[in-house]
Amino acid sequence: MEAFNIQSTADNDFRAQVLDKIDNLTKPKGSLGRLESLAAQVCMIQHTLSPELKNPCNILFAGDHGILAQGVSVSPKEVTWQQSYHFLEGGAGISFLCRQHGFRLMVVDAGIDHDMDYSSGIIDMKVRKGTRDFSVEAAMTPQELDLCIERGARCVDQAFADGCNVISFGEMGCGNTSASSVWMHLLAGIPLAQCIGAGAGLDGKGVSHKLEVLAGAVRKFKDGNLSCSVRDILCYFGGLEMAMAVGAMLRAAELRMVILVDGFIMSACMLAASRLCPEVLDYAIFGHQGDESGHKLLLESMNARPLLHLDLRLGEGSGAVCAYPIVQSAVRMINEMDSFRKASVTKYF
């Protein structure tokens, strides 16, 4: 697996300078709440008292899941390739949000089970046509996992080279809530039943069936894997698009980029990334708490405080992009508000 050199943003001396600047803006101390802590985090990431957010980008990774054969999702597999074209045609949810908030949208074929037309603008990073069915065997090989992580990192390199320093990630892959639920269960130690939700719209009977299938797959995995390492878990249950997102998150942190984390699936990817390199969490801003069952518990396992709670469960990076204006406000606060001294206002607290 590619080695990532991610530096912790912890620096007590510099943090004291950041907080001194924030505390001496023309407002009561702490009165701008989360904007203040967000501004401090961005300052620490960029190691500057005058942070900038430049050329935001949302990278959307798409891939298919073999577990779909077990009836764990109401969405047919062809939706993955159909929606992948739709994103770039401009009529999808993430499409209008990226236009609204000035994000470049990159759509990446991580493992779509279809012969794609890359002249459409979709980026070809395909590792294989969908994962294997993890209720039967490992979803991917260690070599395929490494290739996903490497290619996810390469996508971030491209965005960074184009001047991006704030990035979000999305996904498209029917069945990926199943993979995410198992990652959450095994990496965070949360009971499997609390990790499973309706996904794209399963009814109660469908959710029960999903739990039965996933529980059986976990038993099979544990019987055949004595170590149950993070790599083992990612290989056995991962989606190609999810593993690619993990690599992308790790590279973004290595490049000291601000990472906006989307919903349930991308939170599971951040959890996996943090189990490989804990320092990645220093760079993560969690956009929202979604409507998918278990997302709240998943966020709590990382001590994450989401900015929004809008009952979203679309994925695609939608919640992360929606939250971006709040991060912009935090950066504007520290850059554009006067200090008491500059404004000749008596410090009144």
Can 316 be counted among the known catalytic residues?
yes
Query: Token pair 């459409």 is at which residue?
Result: 120
| Catalytic pick among 36, 171, 254, 316 | 316
Distance CA 163, CA 214 (A): 41
Sequence-distant contacts of 44-48: CB under 8 A, at least 24 apart: 44/9, 44/10, 44/11, 44/14, 44/15, 44/18, 44/282, 45/9, 45/256, 45/257, 45/258, 45/282, 45/283, 46/165, 46/256, 46/258, 47/9, 47/11, 47/14, 47/256
Write down the H helix ranges in 225-283. 230-237, 240-254, 264-276
**Contact present, 155 and 233 (Cβ < 8 Å):** no
Kindly report the number of other CB atoms within 10 A of residue 192's CB atom. Answer: 16
| Separation between Cα atoms, residue 58 and residue 104, nearest integer Å | 6
CA dist 51 and 228 (Å) reads 41
- Residue 33: which residues within 8 A CB-CB, separation 6 or more? none
Residues in the chain: 349
Residue 56: which of 215, 257, 207 has the closest Cα? 257
Alpha helices in the chain (DSSP H): 12-23, 33-46, 78-89, 93-101, 142-161, 176-188, 204-224, 230-237, 240-254, 264-276, 295-301, 318-336, 340-343
Q: For residue 254, which amino acid is it?
A: E
Token couple for 3: 């080695």
Q: Which residue numbers are catalytic?
A: 316
